[in-house]
Chains A and B, each alone.
Chain A
């Protein structure tokens, strides 16, 4: 039976944390831990989820968990996995939860090393598209046009000038056993992917888009809706990489309005029609690639 809300482990493992109301990252962590179960051993770098979950004596993980250095999520996971295995312990899941900055910027080297070694770990990147814990600064996963506190939108420059790094395909290029994209707007898809990753040996990577109401400029109750819409308008996609092949999991019949998705968020409020046209063209080009190369 497919994993669903009805079959999901009722235990809460990430509880009482101090994440902002409506936090998409905390939803991703919560659901992944419920799928992995009590034998998850979690590593989280300095960042939102560690800042909100580990303030002694308020310790919000019901399972084993540790904060790593910012750059060291994957390398500490490697040590956790090897250390347990060296003691003859096998019934556990070493899982890392790092944000977009912790994964695509400062943690990329360690992540690449772990994938190269094919360490038996699951690395989950909760992508809220900027350094949110320090107050919304640009990361390499901040999308084109987004206003952050280091890419201000003014008369001369309209937000972030660079496009979002394609981390999913960078990870896949290592020849990793399993990689996937997901969104907190589609949790059944995410749960299925975590469940699948749980049973694959070697390195697994799941990249889940997780809106941050504070940083994106939407209200706290819009997190899930906006995470759905980003998939529906084609600016994000749900896919998997396995056995050297890409598979598309969700094929929108027609895309919803990109402009509507962008304009509901204050980080994109300043975009001109021309900016939106650039974003739309870039989406279409991406989908041309997806349709050609993904099953």
Chain B
């Protein structure tokens, strides 16, 4: 185990190297590019033995990864924003084919208007594509997630592609100290990928076929079960990870000061660091506030959310996303969890950070203040006066 000063992208690349992918398909897009640059350096210096494919588009990046996975190889790719949307056809294809590809997505705003900075509209627009979706908060978690993602995706009960999301620039380009495990540790953690879902010269198979109305639902339901099974496998992976690396993760969500919290902000990604600071400050003033960070959006932490908010009087979802014509996508999902658990407390949506706009400490404090009014509202942060779309 060695400490290194790494950006989120670099940390993720170190994690990928430890996982020994056999095929990497790479196409540049800001702010993801450094991941594939770093991996190409690892291949060049001999520290990573992988086929590094310079594809000519993101569609080909994922199509190539599917081809590799379809012959049983461990495959990795990375993208962001417009690139994710360009490869969108391949996302449900990979999920339906049950190809456990790992892809890093650097969360970035989607055009128009053009913008290279971070928000989560890109990945959240693909929430229904059948991929596991995780959101890292810092470089260390990015590195650890890179390694764990292969374990989870490739598990025989899961066989589902994995999208690991890092906030563009805020996380991908911010340098932090991260512990880089040794290859021996990584090898002890991650087993070799074994599958029968592959074209095999000894046992020829036909893959990626059509299934008509009689059997189509069966295939789709099995796909659904696979991603649901990820929940248990994430727990299993994190336990094994702690045994080998000594760092503990907390499954689909991470809670902070929620045991007795009356007002809770539910968020995802790197902004959780600032929310945590606000919680600390407000707690010093005697206010019972807390933070629930969603680490995974698929499978969705329905039970975890219901359990976390049992003492709460009001909730706010803070997300860098808007599903136009409705509300934030995370908010919709959180409300569904509350509804299913028969929890009826005011839940507000705060949409901020679009196109990389800063979310300030004061704004977060303001969200906690507003929660005490016990009114569910949908708000846009930072448009000069509160935006309203309820």
Q: A residues bordering B, Cβ < 8 Å? A: 38-39, 41, 43, 50-51, 54-56, 59-69, 71-72, 74-87, 89, 91-92, 109-110, 112-113, 116-117
Q: Judging by beta carbons under 8 Å apart, are A76 and B63 in contact? A: yes
- A80-B67, A113-B56, A117-B53 are contacts. A86–B210 as well, Cβ < 8 Å? no
Of the candidates A51, A67, A80, the one whose C-beta lies within 8 Å of that of B68 is A80
Of the candidates B73, B75, B90, the one whose C-beta lies within 8 Å of that of A72 is B90
- A87-B22, A113-B55, A116-B56 are contacts. A79–B63 as well, Cβ < 8 Å? yes
Of the candidates A55, A60, A92, A117, the one whose C-beta lies within 8 Å of that of B212 is A55
Q: Judging by beta carbons under 8 Å apart, are B68 and A86 in contact? A: yes
- A69-B90, A72-B60, A109-B56 are contacts. A79–B75 as well, Cβ < 8 Å? yes
Q: Judging by beta carbons under 8 Å apart, are A83 and B23 in contact? A: yes
| CB-defined contacts of B57 to chain A, threshold 8 Å | 109-110, 113
Q: Judging by beta carbons under 8 Å apart, are A80 and B71 in contact? A: yes
- Cβ of B70 within 8 Å of any chain A Cβ, yes or no, is yes
Q: Judging by beta carbons under 8 Å apart, are B75 and A64 in contact? A: no
- Name which residue of chain B comes closest to A44, CB basis: B208
Q: B residues bordering A, Cβ < 8 Å? A: 22-23, 25, 50-51, 53-57, 59-61, 63-73, 75, 89-90, 93, 199-201, 204-212, 215
| CB-defined contacts of B73 to chain A, threshold 8 Å | 79, 82-84, 86-87
| CB-defined contacts of A109 to chain B, threshold 8 Å | 56-57, 60
CA distance A189 to B64 in the complex (A): 32
CA distance A78 to B206 in the complex (A): 18
Q: Judging by beta carbons under 8 Å apart, are A87 and B56 in contact? A: no
- Name which residue of chain B comes closest to A63, CB basis: B204
CA distance A61 to B208 in the complex (A): 12
The 16 sampled A-B contact pairs (Cβ below 8 Å) are A54-B210, A56-B210, A63-B204, A64-B206, A65-B206, A66-B70, A66-B199, A66-B208, A69-B63, A75-B60, A79-B64, A79-B66, A79-B69, A83-B67, A109-B60, A110-B56
| CB-defined contacts of A74 to chain B, threshold 8 Å | 60
| CB-defined contacts of B60 to chain A, threshold 8 Å | 72, 74-75, 78, 109-110, 113
Q: In the complex, how many angstroms separate the beta carbon of B219 from the nearest chain A beta carbon? A: 8
- Name which residue of chain A comes closest to B64, CB basis: A79
Q: Judging by beta carbons under 8 Å apart, are B69 and A64 in contact? A: no
Q: In the complex, how many angstroms separate the beta carbon of A13 from the nearest chain B beta carbon? A: 9
Q: Which 8 pairs of residues, A with B, have the shortest CB-CB distance? A: A79-B67, A113-B56, A83-B73, A83-B68, A72-B63, A75-B60, A64-B199, A86-B22
Of the candidates A43, A55, A79, the one whose C-beta lies within 8 Å of that of B209 is A55
Q: Judging by beta carbons under 8 Å apart, are A71 and B65 in contact? A: no
CA distance A64 to B70 in the complex (A): 10
| CB-defined contacts of A79 to chain B, threshold 8 Å | 23, 25, 53, 63-71, 73, 75
| CB-defined contacts of B56 to chain A, threshold 8 Å | 109-110, 112-113, 116
- Name which residue of chain A comes closest to B49, CB basis: A86
- A80-B199, A86-B73 are contacts. A65–B207 as well, Cβ < 8 Å? yes
CA distance A86 to B51 in the complex (A): 7
- Name which residue of chain A comes closest to B203, CB basis: A64
Of the candidates A51, A64, A75, the one whose C-beta lies within 8 Å of that of B64 is A75
Q: In the complex, how many angstroms separate the beta carbon of A64 from the nearest chain B beta carbon? A: 4
Of the candidates B63, B199, B204, the one whose C-beta lies within 8 Å of that of A110 is B63
- Name which residue of chain A comes closest to B89, CB basis: A69
Q: In the complex, how many angstroms separate the beta carbon of A74 from the nearest chain B beta carbon? A: 8
- Name which residue of chain B comes closest to A85, CB basis: B51
CA distance A239 to B201 in the complex (A): 33
Q: A69-B89, A79-B68, A113-B56 are in contact. List 8 more A-B contacts (CB 8 A).
A: A64-B206, A66-B207, A71-B59, A81-B67, A83-B51, A83-B69, A86-B23, A113-B57
- Name which residue of chain B comes closest to A110, CB basis: B60
Q: Judging by beta carbons under 8 Å apart, are B204 and A78 in contact? A: no
- A63-B204, A64-B205, A83-B70 are contacts. A78–B64 as well, Cβ < 8 Å? yes
- A84-B71, A89-B201, A91-B201 are contacts. A67–B208 as well, Cβ < 8 Å? yes
